[in-house]
Structure 1
Amino acid sequence: MEMEKILLLPLIFQVFLCAIPTIHAAPGNSKLFREYIGAEGNNVKFSDVPINSDVKFHFILSFAIDYATSVSPTNGNFNVYWDKQNLGPSAVASIKALKPNVKVAMSLGGDTLGGKFVHFAPKSINSWVSNAVASLTRISKEYDLDGIDIDYEHFSSDPDTFAECIGQLLAHLKQNKIVSFTSIAPYEGDSVQPYYLTLWKKYGHLIDYVNFQFYAYDKGTTVSQFMKFFEDQSSNYRDGKVLVSFSTDGSGGLSPANGFFEACGRLKRLRKLHGIFIWSADDSKKAGFRFEEQSQNLLTSIQ
């Protein structure tokens, strides 16, 4: 009988361990601020946006798209569709020289082009990756870019093909030092999440930031709902740096007026505020970028 008790101890201990809730390791607070810019043709310039010298600031040019026109996918041959007049190579060089804490990235894909959905539509993994590496290396060198963001939102492929194409692309760009950081920009929904979760499972070690589009949730989102959404996505993108976000176009999610910065304060106290990003500078211009200033002040405040 005593021997049976001894033999049972390891099993009981295993059951006890399984009953303990999994606690995901938090990367900790960060002073990272990111902003998408250039997608809407509102003549916004880098120099229009207030930049706090104490933050780590990323501009994300929007978008590079592997389309020749709004209806012609090019199988990985990317072209620049952001505001090249105001946000060209000389403008990138100027803002980086003026503000040493600024890095500039480009985002791939986006929602629409010419009023039509932008689809991820590779002909094959090998051909898409080959074309993407060549075209994005050229754009990155021309603009002296530091990073790349993945923001495809519509797909004409399966999740595994997307994961292999994007994963192999990120691996090449990082290994060859074409970019120094990478991010993805998923949002909740069965039409999008399976693609990014498959990518994360296979290539998450190559992804530095998760620009989760919390503004894609309902417009009436409350602080408590937002906190739950954040925990849900932190679990989905386990051990990743999930950034919080809001939009200045008046769309959805938790807005600054309804408690976004209160939620950020809570996350900061929990040491889970990995950074803030905003969509987008183009929409913020008419309001004078006041939420950009408030976001950066919160990131740099002592708490």
Structure 2
Amino acid sequence: MITMDAHRFLLPLVLLQFLFFTLPLTGNSKLFREYIGAEERGVTFSNVPIHPGVNFHFILSFAIDYDTSASPTNGDFRVYWDTKNLNASTVSSIKARHANVKVAMSLGGDTTGSKHVKFTIKTINSWVGNAINSITRIAKEYYLDGIDIDYEHFSTDPNTFAECIGRLLLHLKQNKIISFASIAPYEHDSVQPYYLALWKKYSHLIDYVNFQFYAYGKGITVPQFMKFFETQISNYRGGKVLVSLGTDGSGGLSPQAGFFEACKKLKGLGKLHGIFIWSADDSKKKGFPYEKQSQNILASGK
């Protein structure tokens, strides 16, 4: 028999159980992000399917502090994405038509022409000053909401990179030039130390970690992917680490091998912080099937 005193404890317990099983897991997100414009294949914002139930970020690729002869310019960034199709007018238009869309630009990238884009500076102060001026100008011209850091080659040490990028992010956020920032590391000894140094000192300024899981080798399995994910959320502790898919034939966990199964597993664990795809340029020829599937998973209540 349950006494009246026991009832007092039982009812709160039942309520807690109800809340646990009915409230959404707070670690999950409805954020979908897509890189666009790096390969000049004529893709437009309106080509890409946009689910009304997600938060959608287009990431223009790339702004680079190199001149047209592929020489570094010490933080003076120029636009290198497909401006014929992805310009101020089309940014303004897609945001007006879809209230859930924001647009960012990515800095750096792998190559310009046939040369690696290396993070190169003269001094920290001069690079930061030039970067603040040029990024502010581009962000205002193109009505941008955020930036992504995607340097993959470096001529400096990790601490110098961290200080330059950290100071840049601090200024842009304090002055409301951008509302969000992300980084795009991947697992390699020549890359991770730079982003981990940045994360160690300036993680409070970084909203998302676009981890390039497609940079792992081809043929990985769902259990391997889950292990890699746990490693990276440990590396970027406290951060929102997004899972990723490459539609350019690169590596990582493919849809055929269980990418979306892994996404559903992470969602069940409350760890699906979002999905991003590289890239719209590559997806266009197949009609964006993985963009649709990714957004359906994110928007679903299940």
Shared fold, TM over 0.5: yes
1:70 Cα offset (Å)? 4.7
- Residues 130-141 of structure 1 mapped to structure 2, 5 A cutoff: 130-141=129-140
Does the CA-based 8 Å contact 1:27-1:240 persist in structure 2? no
Matched, 1:118 2:117: yes
Aligned-partner Cα distance in 2 for 1:280–1:176? 30
State the AA in 1 paired with 2:279: S
Match of 2:146?
147
Matched, 1:103 2:102: yes
Structure 1 runs (4+) deviating above 6 angstroms are none
Q: Secondary structure at the match of 1:227?
A: helix
Matched, 1:78 2:77: yes
Aligned-partner Cα distance in 2 for 1:202–1:27? 26
1:125 Cα offset (Å)? 0.4
State the AA in 1 paired with 2:240: K
Does the CA-based 8 Å contact 1:70-1:114 persist in structure 2? no
State the AA in 1 paired with 2:68: T
1:257 Cα offset (Å)? 1.2
Aligned-partner Cα distance in 2 for 1:70–1:177? 33
- Residue segments in structure 2 that go unaligned for 5+ positions in a row: 1-24
Aligned-partner Cα distance in 2 for 1:206–1:70? 33
State the AA in 2 paired with 1:104: V
- Residues 26-65 of structure 1 mapped to structure 2, 5 A cutoff: 28-65=27-64
State the AA in 2 paired with 1:107: S
Q: Secondary structure at the match of 2:219?
A: coil
Question: For residues 150-203 of structure 1, what are the alpha-carbon distances to aligned partners after superposition, in whole Å with 9 as ceiling and x for unaligned?
Answer: 000000000000000000000000000000000000000110000000000000
Residues paired across the two proteins, number: 278
Q: Secondary structure at the match of 1:256?
A: coil
Q: Secondary structure at the match of 2:161?
A: helix
State the AA in 1 paired with 2:59: I
Q: Secondary structure at the match of 2:277?
A: strand
Q: Secondary structure at the match of 1:73?
A: coil
Q: Secondary structure at the match of 2:168?
A: helix
Q: Secondary structure at the match of 2:67?
A: strand
- Residues 122-201 of structure 1 mapped to structure 2, 5 A cutoff: 122-201=121-200
Matched, 1:230 2:235: no
Q: Secondary structure at the match of 1:257?
A: coil
**Which shifted more, 126-135 or 249-258?**
249-258
Question: For residues 2-58 of structure 1, what are the alpha-carbon distances to aligned partners after superposition, in whole Å with 9 as ceiling and x for unaligned?
Answer: xxxxxxxxxxxxxxxxxxxxxxxx960000000000000100000000000110000
Match of 1:256?
255
Match of 1:246?
245
Aligned-partner Cα distance in 2 for 1:257–1:250? 12
Aligned-partner Cα distance in 2 for 1:274–1:157? 31
TM-score, scaled to structure 2: 0.91
1:69 Cα offset (Å)? 2.3
State the AA in 2 paired with 1:159: P
State the AA in 2 paired with 1:102: V
Aligned-partner Cα distance in 2 for 1:27–1:75? 41
Does the CA-based 8 Å contact 1:36-1:62 persist in structure 2? yes
Does the CA-based 8 Å contact 1:27-1:239 persist in structure 2? no
Aligned-partner Cα distance in 1 for 2:292–2:99? 18
